Structure 1
Amino acid sequence: MDIIDAAEAHLPGILAIYNDAVARTTAIWNETPVDLDNRRAWWTARTAQGYPVLVAVAGGEVLGYASFGDWRAFDGYRHTVEHSVYVAAGARGRGVGLALLEALIPRARALGKHVLVAGIEAGNTASIRLHEKLGFTRVGLMPEVGIKFGRWLDLAFLQLIL
């Protein structure tokens, strides 16, 4: 498996992972699948800001992807970013998420970021454990701030001071 900067050719793989998460998980709190133009616009915006979009690839297949973006739109938050890591259903539990995060953290440091934030559905213990393994600490819990699949979801916040 290689971790590389995503290129336009990786967008169909990113799209498939994203839409699977929309349809089957609480990792993404959207309920409507998106199209390739949506993922292209997202990728273009991230890279135009100088932010990475990384993919884990093996045998030409996208196994997962990770990125970060601005935490909030106010100047005082300019050194804080929130990241996302998504792994294809068939590749979960194989170290893909760990490899992506291990590659993403130094990219945030290189851009002069000070804090990396993770907003994780509180029931996603695998993701929470992964983040804690890399030094993230739990800093908050917001009960019932989202809804998906007909149930209220809690949002756990973790952060890594870089």
Structure 2
Amino acid sequence: MTPAAPPTLTVRSMRPEDWPSVRDIYQEGIDTGQATFESQAPGWDRFDASRLPAHRLVAETADGRIVGWAAVSPVSARHVYSGVVEHSVYVAGEARGLGGGTALLRALSASTEAGGIWTIQASVFPENEASLKLHLANGYVVVGRRQRIAQMGHGPLRGTWRDTILIERRSPVI
């Protein structure tokens, strides 16, 4: 258990057998229309190929249920950006407000810093106030607003141009 995790949650490395729970939580977030431009959670092979294996985490309850996950992807194949990643963090609706998001972000910061990563960035919809508040409380800062960056491809907002808030966390260690 990481020190940042509430007593009822453990943050640990993601394993392939966690994928069904991770996928369901991802899809739940997608279905809100406030988490991502994606319209469907990918299959395991695509997820596995796009996320750095050393920095995939899950939040697990004492009875073994996965209630959240975090992972990072490289932002560029260029060597000069090897220490810059984009992250995703998702918490199941049933577990929101229990500290899982904070525990995952803190564990992800520790994991990436140990791996030589100096910047974690993400794009958040401005309407996702809970996510912005969570990130700002955990060392992220707003870099800027990207206006009409892409269109929603699913749900009631399909075809709607959306803004995102670009946030980042710079390591104070690296």
The answer for the alignment partner of 2:37 in structure 1 is 29
Q: Deviations over 1:49-70 (max 9, x none)?
A: 5432100011121100001110
Q: 2:60 aligns with which of 57, 62, 81?
A: 57
| Contact 1:120 1:156 (C-alpha < 8 Å) held by counterparts | yes
Q: TM-score, normalised by structure 1?
A: 0.88
1:78 aligns with 2:78: no
The answer for the alignment partner of 2:149 in structure 1 is 145
Aligned residue identity for 1:57: E
Secondary structure at the aligned position of 1:85 is classed as strand
**Mapped partners of 2:53, 2:38: distance in 1:** 25
The alignment-based identity, stated in percent, is: 28
The answer for the alignment partner of 2:4 in structure 1 is none
Q: 1:157 aligns with which of 133, 146, 166?
A: 166
| Contact 1:51 1:69 (C-alpha < 8 Å) held by counterparts | no
Secondary structure at the aligned position of 2:168 is classed as strand
Q: TM-score, normalised by structure 2?
A: 0.83
**How far does residue 75 in structure 1 lie from its aligned partner after superposition?**
2.2
Q: How many residues of Structure 1 are paired with residues of Structure 2 in the alignment?
A: 157
Q: Deviations over 1:52-105 (max 9, x none)?
A: 210001112110000111012222211111111001111112211111001000
**Mapped partners of 1:22, 1:33: distance in 2:** 8
**Mapped partners of 2:77, 2:59: distance in 1:** 29
Cα RMSD for the two superposed structures: 1.7
**How far does residue 43 in structure 1 lie from its aligned partner after superposition?**
2.9
Secondary structure at the aligned position of 1:17 is classed as helix
**How far does residue 119 in structure 1 lie from its aligned partner after superposition?**
1.3
Aligned residue identity for 1:98: T
**How far does residue 40 in structure 1 lie from its aligned partner after superposition?**
4.3
| Contact 2:50 2:73 (C-alpha < 8 Å) held by counterparts | no
Q: Which runs of 5+ in 1 are unaligned?
A: none
Q: Deviations over 1:97-125 (max 9, x none)?
A: 11100100011101111111121112111
**Mapped partners of 2:41, 2:141: distance in 1:** 31
1:102 aligns with 2:106: yes
**Mapped partners of 2:23, 2:133: distance in 1:** 26
| Contact 2:87 2:121 (C-alpha < 8 Å) held by counterparts | yes
**Mapped partners of 2:144, 2:150: distance in 1:** 15
More helix by share: 1
| Contact 1:23 1:33 (C-alpha < 8 Å) held by counterparts | no
**Mapped partners of 2:24, 2:144: distance in 1:** 31
**Mapped partners of 2:49, 2:76: distance in 1:** 19
Q: Deviations over 1:130-158 (max 9, x none)?
A: 11111111111101112222332111111
More strand by share: 1
